[in-house]
């Protein structure tokens, strides 16, 4: 796969604007794993959680829905119901988030599913710098146990 990069301007910790190249094929989870900040077990757990989140259709819609307006659908209400795979993915996702726990699920969702970097997640949650990695690894450890990843 070819590397696809875009140039983006971010603010460094000192408030200065910096231009950086962003690889569109690398998630924050993959970045942490590639640099030795996450174990293989943690990476696999996070990736499984992200896959379930995507299969469940929990992400924001990027395009308009092109199906017919309500009441005009062929097949009635059954046509709008999610499939079994989507429901199963939703159940697995919800179970994994419950396993992580309320204090850990916030950073887990932000980094793994929403694709936020750790520093952005820490700022959004009002946490001190470097606290996110510890909390994320604790959350991923619980999720790995829930998915039975050894």
Question: Does 64 have pLDDT greater than 90?
Answer: no
User: What's the pLDDT at 4?
Assistant: 61
Beta bridge mates, 5: 23
More confident residue, 43 or 68: 43
Q: Determine if the pTM surpasses 0.85.
A: no
Question: Does 24 have pLDDT greater than 70?
Answer: no
User: What's the pLDDT at 11?
Assistant: 63
Q: Could you tell me the residue ranges of all domains in the chain?
A: 27-59+67-146
Torsion of CA 117, 120, 126, 127, to 10 degrees: 40
User: What's the pLDDT at 13?
Assistant: 59
Q: Which residues does 35 contact at the CB level (< 8 Å), separation at least 6?
A: none
18 by Cβ neighbours in 10 Å (0-12 / 13-18 / 19+) ranks as exposed
């Amino acid at each position: 796969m070819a590397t696809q990069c875009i140039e983006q301007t971010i603010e460094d910790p000192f408030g200065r604007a910096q231009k950086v190249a962003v690889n569109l094929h690398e998630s924050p989870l993959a970045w942490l794993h590639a640099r030795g900040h996450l174990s293989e077990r943690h990476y696999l757990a996070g990736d499984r959680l992200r896959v379930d989140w995507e299969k469940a259709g929990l992400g924001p819609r990027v395009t308009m829905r092109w199906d017919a307006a309500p009441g005009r659908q062929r097949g009635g209400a059954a046509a709008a119901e999610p499939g079994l795979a989507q429901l199963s993915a939703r159940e697995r996702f919800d179970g994994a988030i419950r396993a992580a726990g309320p204090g850990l699920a916030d950073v887990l969702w932000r980094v793994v599913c929403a694709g936020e970097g750790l520093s952005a997640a820490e700022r959004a949650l009002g946490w001190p710098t470097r606290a996110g990695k510890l909390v994320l690894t604790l959350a991923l450890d619980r999720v790995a146990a829930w998915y039975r990843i050894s």
